[in-house]
């Protein structure tokens, strides 16, 4: 879940009142966000740098609220969005209507796209905010929002990259191109000297923030780049903007472009930027559109624009989504009976315009989903908003009426019974991990990895998580090692699954339920484990079936001591083995005393 | 015997001033008497004051002579009145007696040893040495002058001796009943347990640990939670398939392919077996459509859905992958029947491990599938379930989860911490998940999930998850773990 840092006083100012922390937490809880932490700017810096706490002198520090928001609510990734949503939720503000600035079609700014961009980042969207009044706080918020969007929906800029520019420093039409790196030269943001694009990437290899994004384009023969009509570079997406068009506190007119591989997400990102910050435009909530001209049919059926924009790719797409939803689709799943007149104000609290659809004969509500609410995909999302606005605490609790009977999986019942038997035989149950290192699973128990047995992890974080165990033995020996000073005799067991490659299942691997027990003392305890094996074989016998006599046979397995080991047979099938653990295995696990170990496939005994 | 004489004597006398003398006069070994005294003192039947006095004791050689006679007298007695040859005499007595005895016998002029042999010089000798030695052995006093030779011959030594002075104790009885330590089969056979006194137990003594088996604490809690589900009519899902395809783990749950959970930072993807072998193709087509362009009244995510992403195998990140399989199977039945399903099994996350997070843990999941279920039903069933876990006060916070709508976090008021703590997640499965499976449109699924480890840690006050699960768990923690009381209150 993303966390947004907002200044408490700014937030309360925007909400038109102040709250105690408890009151604010309660408001967050009802709305579905969470006050995660209360801190100060100094505190954040101090934590980042691992400095000692300062004594005093922090009274003048602004208190920062760290607020956790839902991962699909991009409209809540900045103070403006949170404050707006809460103001509407508590009834202090009407739902804003975002509209296009009226301009003659011929003066609309254009982004011309070249064919080559399809090789690297095929789409671009853009918009203009006119007459923005920046101050220190909202300027920082503007920068932070881009950062949050880049981290979340943009998937660290792989899917979408945002560039913002001072429109008064550049001239339309703009051109979105893909060129070989040696042909791109400009002064990047925060630098004073000019770089060639390939050299710039090399330069950023040591930049803590930017080096993470280099992989997105570095192996491509062409890099995406945006120029203005004078061949001034605006940006090298998704890496960096140019210094020339950089915005500042004095910027009045902002050009926003988003290059992307995923047009849906780019539109959401652009909408989020413009709907949030058009709040500070001279003409509030007004956005100037930009036309994108492709050289081919790349627009991807996106010419949803109507009227004078028909057939053109005009952005942002501020169109509301209209849903006609029967009242029962909203109220029935919640389990409350509400009339249309009650539901509409609840929808409004959640920023959804709604009205009764007349003439249908049924109770149907026409809901308008604004472009800020990209999280709403289905009427069930609208239903949730009504439930939230109504208040979860007020929904009467009922009991599902369906009669069903309980039951357990036979394998689990069986293995629980075996667990009972083994613990009654005086063994202590342990519980170990499925994931282990390749060495533990094979070499340390003197087994060879032939590549045909174990499930192998592709992206292990450490060697502890290389394979899924194919035997319970390493886990029990590790557990013993950690308790090596415990009073002898040590008798432990585990009932659990191993996983083996299996060509018959749909995924290519399957679980197998195993029982393993280990005896450790100053002597090997072979008879102890033999006794346990006999006990298990005795209790898994079925009436009216011939007894499973002669169930052991000498074996020759590498993890056991020669001539001190046996296979266990059940219905003529080998289901397990036991024996004195080989001294070389004990040595690998650092165990000084002799042990006897048994492992049985209990699934086969079921 | 010794006890009777002490108690009998004290019956008529004020005290026994010296247990050593008492033992000697009663003909009882003092060691035996001492044991009796200690026992009587332990039961406060007598008061016993210890004292030490010094006394003569026989050395080993002296003891031999006290028993067999002094060597010179032994030798004398071996000589017949008419004499004997030296060789004959040597055969009659043992070499030590011959060696020492002949020397002393000659010195005391009892015999004469000449060339013709050995002959008596007196007719009769009294063995005074033996007599003195026997007196000393009995603790009797021997005259100082008589001791001289014994001292000289190193037959006796002077040593301290512990003795007791005794008088009646507060619980004096003239005859005590024997205190038994344990009730035995013989007592029952003889029936004498009625007359016996039994020794007090020392309850503060360290108890010998008993040899028994133990169950793992986490699994004890699993058993308790499982029985809650069973009592509430839930049926267990088969969850013994840790390897899962991305399709069942994510795509079937309407989780878009760019979702952060599908990053390699969060999920263990597999090198072997890297991709799934088969998927139900009709169903895959419906899932593809609902992701790409929407269906069933949904806008969809509007992106290009890739089959190869869905085919990627992984270690399941949640048991909801199994829920999806079960619901799909349910949807393939001829006629719909309501179900309550549960599972408690292992899931895997490729996250950094710390005090509260492991790469694998157990997920508890419950779901109800029926026509017309409501949010009120979900709240109601959660209230019922969590109350059985000892969490009676619940609140629900709106949250986001790709496959449930509404989604809510479950909070419970913790009386100890005096605050609301998150205890699980819940919601109603999205139509985009259920309808492609083929479930009837009016069927809803309410579901919730939580980890097994967290409530167990809260329950037992464990603050490091590695102390509960994995190879580093201390055997003493397993041994000392109390029974799980969930469901008892």
DSSP string across B322-352: HHHHHHHHHHTSSS---EEEEEEEEEE----
- The pLDDT score that the predictor gives to residue B162 is 86
Q: What are phi and psi of B244, to 5 degrees?
A: -140, 160
CB-based contact A587:A593 (threshold 8 Å): no
Helices and strands in chain A, H and E counts: 15, 29
User: How many Cα neighbours within 13 Å face the side chain of B9?
Assistant: 18
Nearest to B230 by CA among A513, A511, A421, A412: A412
Which one of A31, A422, A478 has the shortest CB-CB distance to B398? A31
ipTM: 0.91
Q: What is the pLDDT of residue A303?
A: 47
| φ, ψ at B123 (rounded to 5°) | -85, -35
Q: Retrieve residue A128's tokens.
A: 């203009």
**Alpha-carbon gap: A233 to the closest alpha carbon of chain B (Å):** 30
Residues of B in contact with A497 (CB under 8 A): 240, 242, 346
Residue B85: Cβ-neighbour burial (10 angstroms; 0-12, 13-18, 19+): exposed
- Across A294-432, the runs of DSSP E, i.e. the strands, are 313-315, 321-326, 353-356, 364-369, 428-429
State yes or no: pLDDT of B338 exceeds 80: yes
The predicted structure's pLDDT at residue A299: 64
Strand partners, B112: B119
pLDDT tens for each residue of A212-229: 999 999 999 999 999 999
Q: Rounded to an integer, what distance in angstroms lies between the CA atom of residue B404 and that of residue A72?
A: 13
B216·A431 Cβ contact <8 A: yes
Interface of A with B in 329-348 (CB under 8 A): 332-336
* pLDDT of residue B176 exceeding 80: no
Q: Do B297 and A499 touch (CB under 8 A)?
A: no
Between CA B2 and CA B16 the distance in angstroms is: 13
Does residue A555 contact residue A566 with C-beta atoms inside 8 Å?
yes
The Cα A513–Cα A140 span in angstroms is: 57
Check CB contact under 8 Å for A393 and B408: no
**Partner B contacted by A383 (CB < 8 A):** yes
**Which of A524, A503, A511, A420 minimizes the C-alpha distance to A472?**
A511
Q: Highest-confidence range of A406-415, B109-118, B133-142, B383-392, by mean pLDDT? A: A406-415
CB nearest A506 (choices: B236, B264, B278): B278
**Cα A251 → chain centroid:** 35
User: A507 contacts in B (CB within 8 Å)?
Assistant: 241, 243-245, 273, 276-277, 313
Beta-strand pair A240-241/A99-100: unpaired
- State which residue of chain A sits closest to B220, comparing Cα positions: A429
HSE-up of B363 (CA within 13 Å, CB side)?
27
A305 touches chain B (CB under 8 A): no
CB contact under 8 Å between B238 and A409, yes or no, is yes
Integer Cα distance of A164 and A586 in angstroms: 64
Strand order of the sheet with strand A509-520?
A428-429, A490-501, A509-520, A595-601, A573-581, A560-570, A552-554
Q: Write the CA distances from A443 to A231, A373, A437, A450, B93, integer angstroms.
A: 63, 55, 10, 12, 78
Residue A438 structure tokens: 């390749």
Coil, helix or strand at residue B422:
strand
- Facing residues of A226 across strands? A176, A235
* A299 Cβ under 8 Å from any chain B Cβ: no
CB contact under 8 A, B376 and A335: yes
Cis-peptide, bond into residue B328, ω within 30° of zero: no
Q: Do B377 and A399 touch (CB under 8 A)?
A: yes
DSSP codes joined into one string, A201-214? HHHHTT-TTGGGGG
In the predicted model, what is the mean pLDDT of residues B200-224?
Answer: 91
Structure tokens at B23: 């033992």
| Cβ–Cβ under 8 Å, residues B115 and B83 | no
- A307 burial (CB, 10 Å; 0-12 / 13-18 / 19+) is exposed
| A597 vs B377: CA distance, rounded Å | 50
Q: How many CA atoms does the CB half-sphere of A26 hold within 13 Å?
A: 7
Instruction: Calculate how close chain A gets to B185, using CA atoms only, in Å.
Output: 28
Q: Smallest Cα–Cα separation from A258: which of A281, A276, A234?
A: A234
Tokens 């109220």 sit on residue: A331
Instruction: Quote the CA–CA distance of B327 and B336 in Å, as a whole number.
Output: 11
Contact B237 A482 (CB under 8 A): no
As a whole number of angstroms, the distance between CA A582 and CA A591 comes to: 11
Residue A170 backbone class (left: φ over 0; alpha: ψ -120 to 50; beta: rest): beta
Shortest CB distance from A457 goes to which of B268, B358, B374?
B268
Instruction: Determine the Cα–Cα distance for residues A218 and A200; give it in Å rounded to an integer.
Output: 11
- B313, B275 Cβ separation under 8 angstroms: yes
Count how many pairs of residues, chain A against chain B, have C-beta atoms within 8 Å. 290
Q: Residue A298's CB: how many other CB atoms inside 10 A?
A: 16
- Helix (H) or strand (E) segment spanning residue A259: strand A254-260
Interface test mutation site (partner B, options A333, A420, A453, max chain B beta carbons within 10 A):
A333
CB contact under 8 A, A458 and B376: no
Burial class (CB in 10 A: 0-12, 13-18, 19+), B134: middle
* Nearest CB to B380; choose among A398, A459, A492: A398
Helix (H, G, I), strand (E, B) or coil at A584: helix
Measured between alpha carbons, how far is A246 from A167 in angstroms, rounded to an integer?
A: 9
Cα–chain-centroid distance for residue A481? 37
Say how many residues make up chain A.
Answer: 606
Nearest CA in chain A to B215: A429
Contact across the interface for B297 and A379, Cβ inside 8 Å: yes
Encoded tokens for B29: 């070994």
Chain B's closest residue to A301, CA to CA, is B302
Distance of CA A574 to the CA centre of its chain: 45
Cβ–Cβ below 8 Å for B273 and A508: yes
Nearest to A483 among B243, B244, B474 (CB): B474
* A290 three-state secondary structure: strand
- The answer to whether A566 touches A579, Cβ cutoff 8 Å, is yes
Whether the CB-CB separation of A85 and A31 falls below 8 Å is answered with yes
A563 DSSP 8-state letter: E
Sort out which chain A residues have CB atoms less than 8 A from B352's CB and list them. 461
pLDDT at A53: 61
| Residue contact B376–A459, C-beta within 8 A | no
Q: Which residues of chain A have pLDDT under 50?
A: 303-304
């Amino acid at each position: 879940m993303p966390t947004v840092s907002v200044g408490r006083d700014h937030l309360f100012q925007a909400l038109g009142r102040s709250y105690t922390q408890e009151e604010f937490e309660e408001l967050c809880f009802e709305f579905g966000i969470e006050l995660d932490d209360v801190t100060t700017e100094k505190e954040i810096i101090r934590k980042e740098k691992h400095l000692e706490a300062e004594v005093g002198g922090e009274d003048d520090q602004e208190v920062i609220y760290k607020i956790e928001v839902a991962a699909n609510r991009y409209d809540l990734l900045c103070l403006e969005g949170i404050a707006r949503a809460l103001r509407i939720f508590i009834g202090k503000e009407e739902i804003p209507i975002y509209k296009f600035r009226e301009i003659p079609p011929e003066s609309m700014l254009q982004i011309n796209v070249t064919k080559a961009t399809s090789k690297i980042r095929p789409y671009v969207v853009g918009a203009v905010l006119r007459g923005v009044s920046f101050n220190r706080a909202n300027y920082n918020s503007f920068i932070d929002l881009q950062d949050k969007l880049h981290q979340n929906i943009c998937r660290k800029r792989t899917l979408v990259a945002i560039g913002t520019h001072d429109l008064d420093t550049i001239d339309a039409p703009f051109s979105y191109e893909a060129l070989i790196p040696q042909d791109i030269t400009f002064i990047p943001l925060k630098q004073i000297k000019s770089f060639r694009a390939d050299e710039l990437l090399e330069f950023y290899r040591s930049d803590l923030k930017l080096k993470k994004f280099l992989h997105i384009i570095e192996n491509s023969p062409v890099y995406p780049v945006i120029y203005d009509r004078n061949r001034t570079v605006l940006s090298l997406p998704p890496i960096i903007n140019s210094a020339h068009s950089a915005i500042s506190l004095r910027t009045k007119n902002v050009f926003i472009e988003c290059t992307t591989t995923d047009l849906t997400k780019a539109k959401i990102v652009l909408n989020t930027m413009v709907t949030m910050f058009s709040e500070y435009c001279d003409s509030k909530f007004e956005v100037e559109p930009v036309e994108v001209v492709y050289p081919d049919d790349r627009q991807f059926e996106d010419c949803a624009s109507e009227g004078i924009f028909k057939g053109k790719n005009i952005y942002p797409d501020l169109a509301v989504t209209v849903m006609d939803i029967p009242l029962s689709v909203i109220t029935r799943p919640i389990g409350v009976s509400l009339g249309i007149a009650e539901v509409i104000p609840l929808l409004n609290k959640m920023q959804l315009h709604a009205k009764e659809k007349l003439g249908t004969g049924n109770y149907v509500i026409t809901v308008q989903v604004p472009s800020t609410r990209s999280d709403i995909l289905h009427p069930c999302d609208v239903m949730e908003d009504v439930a939230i606005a109504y208040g979860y605490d007020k929904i009467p609790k009922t009991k599902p009426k369906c009669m069903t009977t309980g039951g357990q999986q036979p394998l689990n019942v069986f293995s629980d019974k075996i667990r009972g038997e083994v613990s009654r035989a005086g063994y202590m149950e342990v519980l170990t991990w499925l994931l282990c290192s390749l060495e533990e699973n094979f070499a340390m128990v003197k087994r060879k990895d032939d590549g045909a047995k174990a499930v192998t992890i592709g992206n292990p974080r450490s060697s502890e998580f290389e394979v899924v165990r194919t035997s319970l033995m390493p886990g029990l020996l590790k557990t013993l090692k950690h308790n090596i000073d415990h009073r002898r005799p040590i008798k432990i067991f585990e009932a659990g699954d191993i996983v083996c490659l299996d060509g018959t299942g749909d995924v290519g691997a399957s679980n197998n339920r195993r029982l393993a027990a280990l005896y450790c003392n100053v002597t090997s305890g072979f008879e102890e484990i033999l006794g346990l094996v006999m006990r298990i074989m005795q209790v898994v016998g079925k009436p009216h079936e011939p007894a499973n006599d002669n169930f052991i046979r000498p074996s020759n397995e590498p993890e056991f001591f020669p001539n001190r080991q046996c296979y266990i047979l059940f219905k003529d099938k080998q289901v397990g083995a036991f024996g004195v653990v080989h001294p070389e295995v004990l040595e690998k696990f650092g165990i000084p005393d002799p042990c006897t170990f048994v492992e049985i496939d209990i699934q086969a005994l079921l | 015997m010794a006890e009777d004489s002490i108690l009998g004597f004290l019956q008529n006398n004020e005290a026994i001033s010296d247990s050593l003398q008492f033992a000697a006069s009663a003909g009882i070994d003092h060691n035996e008497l001492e044991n009796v005294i200690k026992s009587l003192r332990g039961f406060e039947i007598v008061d016993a004051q210890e004292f030490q006095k010094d006394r003569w004791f026989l050395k080993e050689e002296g003891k031999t002579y006290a028993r067999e006679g002094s060597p010179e007298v032994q030798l004398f007695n071996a000589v017949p009145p008419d004499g004997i040859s030296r060789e004959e005499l040597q055969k009659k007595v043992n070499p030590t007696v011959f060696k020492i005895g002949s020397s002393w016998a000659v010195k005391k002029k009892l015999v004469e040893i000449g060339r013709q042999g050995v002959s008596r010089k007196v007719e009769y000798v009294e063995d005074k040495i033996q007599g003195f030695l026997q007196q000393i052995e009995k603790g009797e006093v021997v005259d100082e002058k008589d001791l001289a030779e014994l001292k000289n011959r190193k037959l006796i030594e002077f040593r301290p001796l512990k003795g007791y002075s005794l008088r009646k104790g507060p619980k004096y009885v003239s005859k005590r009943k024997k205190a038994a330590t344990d009730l035995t089969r013989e007592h029952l056979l003889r029936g004498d347990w009625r007359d016996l006194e039994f020794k007090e137990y020392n309850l503060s003594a360290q108890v010998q640990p008993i040899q028994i088996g133990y169950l793992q604490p986490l699994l004890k809690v699993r058993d308790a939670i499982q029985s809650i589900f069973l009592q509430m009519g839930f049926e267990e899902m088969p969850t013994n398939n840790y390897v899962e395809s991305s399709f069942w783990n994510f795509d079937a749950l309407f989780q878009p392919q760019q979702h952060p959970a599908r990053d390699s930072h969060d999920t263990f993807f597999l090198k072997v077996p890297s991709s799934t072998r088969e998927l139900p193709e009709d169903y895959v087509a419906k899932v593809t459509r609902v992701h790409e362009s929407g269906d069933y009244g949904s806008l969809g995510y509007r992106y290009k859905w890739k089959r190869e992403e869905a085919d990627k195998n992984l270690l399941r990140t949640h048991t909801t992958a199994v829920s999806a399989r079960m619901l799909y199977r349910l949807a393939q039945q001829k006629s719909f029947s309501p179900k309550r399903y549960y599972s408690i099994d292992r899931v895997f996350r490729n996250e950094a491990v710390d005090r509260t997070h492991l790469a694998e843990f157990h997920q508890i999941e419950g779901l109800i599938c029926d026509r017309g279920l409501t949010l009120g039903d979900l709240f109601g069933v959660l209230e019922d379930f969590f109350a059985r876990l000892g969490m009676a006060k619940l609140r629900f916070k709106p949250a986001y989860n790709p496959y449930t709508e509404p989604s809510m976090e479950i909070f419970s008021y913790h009386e100890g911490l005096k605050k609301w703590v998150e205890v699980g997640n819940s919601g109603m499965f999205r139509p985009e998940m259920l309808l492609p499976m083929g479930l009837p449109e009016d069927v809803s699924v309410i579901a919730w999930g939580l980890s097994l480890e967290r409530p167990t840690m809260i329950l037992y006050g464990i603050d490091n998850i590695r102390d509960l699960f994995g190879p580093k768990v201390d055997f003493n923690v397993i041994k000392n773990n109390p029974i799980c009381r969930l469901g008892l209150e």
